[in-house]
Amino acid sequence: MIIASIRPTISFARRSFTSTRTQHRNETSALFLNASRLDYDQQLDFSSWHSICQNVILNRVDAIRDSDEMLQLLHQHQPTIVLAKEMTIPTTVVEQFPSSVQLICEAGTGYNNWPIAVARSKRIPVCNVPTYSTDAVAHMAITYLMNFAVSMFDQQRMLLNNDRSNFTGPFTLPLHEVGHQTLGLVGGAGRIGTKVAEIALALGMKKVIISSRQPTLPEGHSLYNHPNVECTTDVNYLLRHSDYVSLHTPLNDQTRRSFGRQQIEQMKPTAFLINTSRGGVCHEEELIQCLEERVIQAAGLDVTTTEPPPPDSKLWQLPNRI
Ligand SMILES: NC(=O)C1=CN([C@@H]2O[C@H](COP(=O)(O)OP(=O)(O)OC[C@H]3O[C@@H](n4cnc5c(N)ncnc54)[C@H](O)[C@@H]3O)[C@@H](O)[C@H]2O)C=CC1
Ligand SMILES: O=C(O)C(=O)COP(=O)(O)O
* Among 109, 128, 135, residue to substitute to test ligand 2 (most atoms within 8 Å of Cβ): 109
Count: domains in the chain: 2
**Chosen domain end from 58, 93, 127:** 127
Instruction: Verify whether ligand 2 is closer than 6 Å to residue 9 (CB atom).
Output: no
The number of the ligand nearest the C-alpha atom of 109 reads: 2
**Chosen domain end from 127, 144, 165:** 127
Taking only the tens place, the pLDDT of each residue in 80-104 is 999 998 889 999 999 999 999 999 9
CA–CA distance, 134 with 146 (Å, rounded to integer): 18
C-alpha R_g of the chain = 22
Helical packing angle, 134-149 and 191-202, nearest 10° = 40
**Chosen domain end from 76, 107, 127:** 127
What is the pTM (predicted TM-score) of this model? 0.90
Ligand 2, atom 9, residue with closest C-alpha: 108
Taking only the tens place, the pLDDT of each residue in 193-212 is 999 999 999 999 999 999 99
CA–CA distance, 192 with 290 (Å, rounded to integer): 26
Residue 96 lies in a domain: yes
Q: Are residues 142 and 271 in the same domain?
A: yes
- Taking a C-beta distance cutoff of 8 angstroms, is the pair 6, 30 a contact? no
Cα dihedral sign, 200-202-203-206: positive
Residue 321 lies in a domain: no
Range of the domain at 264: 134-316
Q: Are residues 166 and 280 in the same domain?
A: yes
Taking only the tens place, the pLDDT of each residue in 99-156 is 999 999 888 899 999 999 999 999 999 988 888 899 999 999 999 999 999 999 999 9
CA distances from 25 to 14, 41, 54, 80 (A): 11, 22, 5, 10
Taking only the tens place, the pLDDT of each residue in 25-79 is 556 788 888 776 555 544 555 555 555 555 667 777 888 889 999 999 999 999 9
CA–CA distance, 56 with 47 (Å, rounded to integer): 10
Average pLDDT over residues 182-186: 99
Nearest atom (ligand 2) to Cα of 278: 5
Q: Which amino acid is at 288?
A: I
The number of the ligand nearest the C-alpha atom of 85 reads: 2
CATH code, domain carrying 20: 3.40.50.720
Q: What is the distance in A from the centroid of ligand 2 to the CA of 249?
A: 14
Instruction: Verify whether ligand 2 is closer than 6 Å to residue 133 (CB atom).
Output: yes
Residue 244 lies in a domain: yes
